[in-house]
Amino acid sequence: MKKFRARRNMSRIDFKALILSENKHFVLINKPASISVLEDRNDATNILGMARAHYPDMQAAHRLDKETSGVLALAKTPEAYRHLAMQFEARTVVKSYHAVLDGIAQFKNETVALPLFQTAGGKVRVHKGRGKEATTILDTIEVFKKHCLVHCRPVTGRTHQIRVHLQAMGFPITGDHLYGGRSFLLSQVKPDYRLQAYKEERPLMNRIALHAARLEFKDIDGASISVEAPYPKDFKALLSQLRKNR
């Protein structure tokens, strides 16, 4: 039963409709939230599996967390994969994320350099003794009543880097329960909010409020590739409510 459900869910997603940009070396897509990039033992639905139905040799040049939406680069050939992997290793790829945070942060070209250590359970924490170098640059884009929209540029690419660095700064990402974030409820910002009797208020966004907004790197011939991913519906709805109830 579980296998049938996974295949059915995969068939609902049109991989071609996710494509933002494509050439003979790379495909860049706007990855939906709640879908793993690689195969997940708990869910057969994954981006790479869908991609290989169209391009058998496709490889994921990098990863996004399952609950994170936005730009994802896929390599069509081994040569393209190695070419982009080297750029990630050299830290020349420009990665831009947008995140909604709990609290009002006034970041202005703020550099967070805190070493990160991944525990056996998969959770990441700041650890100056055992952690690996990790750097993120932060800029506040917009401020709301109890939240803010922030541009995050990770220089390094550690697991959960943005999430843990923001938690360490005292501003966890909205909806990121693993690292101290709270669910966004309309009642938090809307004074006249009324809930129907015997009903429990549900979060407006059922995931972490993090979106990979832009990715920039060099193609094999040296030309610059720069792609932006529009916000998905849930992220736009969250920002709309924050702006209405500023």
How far apart are the C-alpha atoms of 74 and 182, rounded to whole Å? Answer: 32
* Residues 63-93 pLDDT 10s: 999 999 999 999 999 999 999 999 999 999 9
Instruction: Check pLDDT > 70 for residue 25.
Output: yes
Residues 6+ apart with CB under 8 A from 21: 27, 28, 225, 227
Between CA 137 and CA 225 the distance in angstroms is 21
Catalytic annotation, pick one of 43, 65, 102, 219: 65
Q: Over 80: is that where the pLDDT of 41 sits?
A: no
Alpha carbons 194 and 201: distance in angstroms, whole number: 10
Concerning whether 65 is annotated as a catalytic residue, the answer is: yes
Contacts by residues 222-226 (CB-CB < 8 Å, ≥ 24 positions apart): 225/21, 225/23, 225/26, 225/28, 226/94
Would the pLDDT of 194 be above 80? no
Q: Is pLDDT of 2 > 50?
A: no
pTM above 0.85, yes or no: yes
Tokens read off for 219: 């193609």
Other CB atoms within 10 A of residue 148 CB: 22
Burial class (CB in 10 A: 0-12, 13-18, 19+), 74: buried
Share of the chain above pLDDT 70, in %: 93
Fill in the amino acid letter for 231: Y
